[in-house]
Structure 1
């Protein structure tokens, strides 16, 4: 049981697939962490698929929608939060990184990742190592792996 969730957030940059977003919202609700969606999304956030994947957990999810990258960046900087980008273009393994309370775990679009300016804006760029020849993991699975490691580290440091 989680007595108090670490002050983590998941940010989704212009997500494409409602099922992934719904699954991430469900996971976040179960762990007591917030989700930021940086729009435009590739689907209507009231989409039936989003509701199917998130089930009744969507009502419990702490979701903040940002109209665009600029609005999200302004908010993030005003909150003084680190932005950690999970990317197949990164070189630092997520397991070698030290997570801190207040971190935002950013995941890009399923179809295209994030643009170069978003990549450069991240405080750290992390990779989930995979077998040679593997291109990428499912976005919701990547979010779960990232949250799991951040939780593990932060629970050891409390």
Structure 2
């Protein structure tokens, strides 16, 4: 099962949307304090709609707490400061993909420890970054694609309309 890690998220609607994406993708969500909201905030649940109770979510007191409780974690760091594009790495089925807070990203003191597993989403011009929820979806679904969308519905069904 893939793991999404949000380091100090600030905007409840983003976290709620990411939670919903994790449920749809069968991924776990890890939230690292301090956050810019309380996990019970109605904005988080509203953005996650009726999916929040189906979410496998863990909250950690700090980045150090996260590392202590996940000592074997292979962590990819999503950042605009990375040299590798997110499609250039091979995501293990149980890896962790970390994203930083909306206003500042992942702190550089963490990034310098992970230069080979830091990844970026290409953008043109001087755009600072994409929306956090969009970034998570882009990278998560690439990791799922690389793992052949294991355990996911791969076919839909049209319902014929009769006039």
* 1-structure distance, mates of 2:91, 2:140: 10
Match of 1:154 among 131, 147, 154: 147
* 2-structure distance, mates of 1:151, 1:32: 10
Aligned residues of 2:100 and 2:106 also touching (Cα < 8 A): yes
Structure 1 residue 9: Cα displacement: 0.2
Of 9-18 and 45-54, deviating more is 45-54
* 1-structure distance, mates of 2:108, 2:67: 15
| Pairing 1:5-154 to 2, within 5 Å after superposition | 7-77=1-71, 80-122=72-114, 124-154=117-147
Structure 1 residue 132: Cα displacement: 1.8
Q: Structure 2: which 5+ runs fail to align? A: 151-163
The secondary structure found in structure 1 opposite 2:138 is: helix
TM-score for both structures, normalised by structure 2:
0.87
Runs of 4+ in 1 over 2 A off after TM superposition: 120-123
* 1-structure distance, mates of 2:98, 2:41: 22
Of 111-120 and 142-151, deviating more is 111-120
Structure 1 residue 135: Cα displacement: 1.3
TM-score for both structures, normalised by structure 1:
0.90
Rg comparison, structure with higher value: 2
The secondary structure found in structure 1 opposite 2:123 is: coil
Structure 1 residue 156: Cα displacement: 7.8
* 2-structure distance, mates of 1:8, 1:43: 25
Q: How many residues were matched structurally? A: 150
* 1-structure distance, mates of 2:45, 2:29: 15
Aligned residues of 2:2 and 2:26 also touching (Cα < 8 A): no
Q: Structure 1: which 5+ runs fail to align? A: 1-6
